[in-house]
Structure 1
């Protein structure tokens, strides 16, 4: 499976950059708890409307705990054909930048993910953040994939295999410094949501094939 990550190892306590490689795709990824760096990332995006893969992670809950969201992951198309991802460590941020609040609320953008309604509800409950236009990928997929998870959708829609190890999915997302395996996992959840959404919306909007003539 051709999935790797390159750590740029920036000498900065506020942010780091990675390149996550998923087969032929290279996703430029910013990990930060800095509102100003998150704002700069948002300011570099193309104008709306945008299709955006959205996902969140938090420390696994127990019977006696309900932990808040630790990271918000956003992935969309950058200038040209490349993809860009933001992993915003909201749990450690001094505040949520207004640009991010406005970006999430903007109904011109379409935010896609598997179970995205639940993520949107938790964002609202934990931080008062509203997602203006959230679309579950399963509502765009064929009927037989109505209850599919992200791993199955990746295989059926994109034709690739991806692993989602529990050792990473249930790791300590509340740590201030994420390890590369967490960055790769978080980035890919948002990126693959974006790619599936792009594929399904392109298919849905394609004109029907012309009838054969004799």
Structure 2
């Protein structure tokens, strides 16, 4: 993955570009509310406004409950539209922008994720109370791994799209 930009005005934001099997991906990683707002405005203008069906991939990673936090919460919010992906490290963000809260509340946009309702609940800490058009892919897609009840995006993507992704294991 090649870093495109290290934003000077937002030193804790970075934009990466990657090509996987002739597919171009742009990943924006940030802790800054202003960068989140720019990403939302760009994907709405460039992609979603023209789309008949507006779909955004949605996922959260949570804080580790073993780290002494009283309540587990969302640590990272990931949103994907076409080849554009936002990785918002929300747990260390300078603030949660109102534009993000409004974007997630937009009933015209379908937010799709694996076990998405767990992710939505973990965002309550940040004032994101609900996502009215959240779609849990587990309820509409057949489980390709019968002996595993809760499947993440890796399993669903590998089965339905054939991406061949491997989930990385982190040692503690």
- TM-score tier after normalising by the smaller chain length: 0.7 to 0.9
* 2:162 corresponds to: 159
Greater relative CO, 1 or 2 (CA 8 Å, sep 6+): 1
Which residue of structure 2 lines up, in the alignment, with residue 55 of structure 1? Answer: 59
Work out whether 1:68 is the aligned partner of 2:73: yes
> Structure 2: how far apart are the matches of 1:22 and 1:115?
26
What's the RMSD between the two structures over aligned residues?
A: 2.4
Structure number, greater radius of gyration: 1
How many residues in Structure 1 have an aligned counterpart in Structure 2?
159
When normalised by structure 1's length, the TM-score is: 0.65
TM-score (normalizing by structure 2) = 0.80
Higher helix share: 1
1:107-122 correspondence to structure 2 within 5 Å: 107-122=107-122
Which stretches in structure 2 are left out of the alignment for 5+ residues?
none
CA contact (8 A) 2:4 2:16 kept: yes
Structure 2 counterparts to residues 121-132 of structure 1, below 5 A: 121-124=121-124, 126-129=125-128, 130-132=130-132
CA change 1:144–1:28 in 2 (3 A) is closer
Gaps of at least 5 residues in structure 1 are 78-82, 172-214
Q: Which has the higher strand share?
A: 2
* Alignment match, 2:6: 10
